Structure 1
Amino acid sequence: MSDETILLVLTNAPSAESARQIARSLVDARLAACVNILPACQSVYRWQGDVEEAAELPLLIKTTAAHYQAVEAAIRVAHPYELPEIIAVPVTQGLPDYLAWVAQETRRPASAPPAS
């Protein structure tokens, strides 16, 4: 996969506040061009031997493969879960102008320091 490949990264947050915090931190650092925070969904999953249920807000994060490691690290720092869902799916088709916008918005201006 090329560093220029556009990725759709998926994660879920337990609250609107944590979802906004994750989204803002990624966009502010230019690690993502856009993050959609979807309405709450009900998740059913097995955790530490028990079946759990929780209301969560899905986040759809648009970024590039070049930024994946930094996006994953930023989510792990900001996320309240011990083991957050972080899944990246390569975008193989899309409106060319939109994909170019994602690539452009995740480039740092020449004067900007790298995101930590």
Structure 2
Amino acid sequence: MTKALLIRITCPSQDVAQQIADAAVEMRLAACGNIEGPVSSTYLWKGVVEQAFEHILWLKSVEGCWEALETLVTSLHPYDIPAMVAWPCTHALGEYAAWLEENTEAPSR
């Protein structure tokens, strides 16, 4: 079992996704970021069905960095409530899990 997280964040543009990815990697809160898109999104916001093109940012990180990533994302993301969710990785290639651990650093409390 690994402490790895796969984090998915929807962003209004590639620039926003890149800004968050760059900051997360530079701060060692994520070892890697991937950007996909644009994708077409349909969602309910304040009682109205909305549609938008968004980009998906995937961050590869570890559990100890989650809280700091939440703070970073909410400070850089223009949405009132960013769609940020994480999946624990129950399995990962051993060398990859070690690389994640080596390239992330949970902030000290």
Structure 1: which 5+ runs fail to align?
109-113
Structure ranking higher in strand proportion = 2
Query: Matched residues in 2 for 1:18 and 1:63: separation?
Result: 19
Contact 2:5–2:62 (Cα < 8 Å) also in 1: yes
Relative to the length of structure 2, the TM-score reads 0.93
SS of 2:10's equivalent in the other structure is strand
Relative to the length of structure 1, the TM-score reads 0.87
Name which of 5, 18, 36 aligns with 2:34: 36
Structure 2: which 5+ runs fail to align?
none
Percentage of matched positions with identical amino acids: 38
Partner of 2:48: 50
Query: Matched residues in 2 for 1:99 and 1:43: separation?
Result: 32
Offset of 1:107 from its aligned partner? Answer: 3.0
Q: Which moved more, 1:21-30 or 1:98-107?
A: 98-107
Query: Matched residues in 2 for 1:107 and 1:70: separation?
Result: 10
Letter of the 1:24 partner, please give it: D
Q: Report the number of matched residues.
A: 108
Runs of 4+ aligned residues of structure 1 deviating over 3 Å after TM superposition are none
Partner of 1:20: 18
Query: Matched residues in 2 for 1:14 and 1:91: separation?
Result: 26
Query: Matched residues in 1 for 2:105 and 2:58: separation?
Result: 19
Query: Matched residues in 2 for 1:40 and 1:99: separation?
Result: 29
After superposition, the CA RMSD in angstroms is 1.7
Partner of 1:9: 7
Offset of 1:99 from its aligned partner? Answer: 1.2
Query: Matched residues in 2 for 1:6 and 1:16: separation?
Result: 25
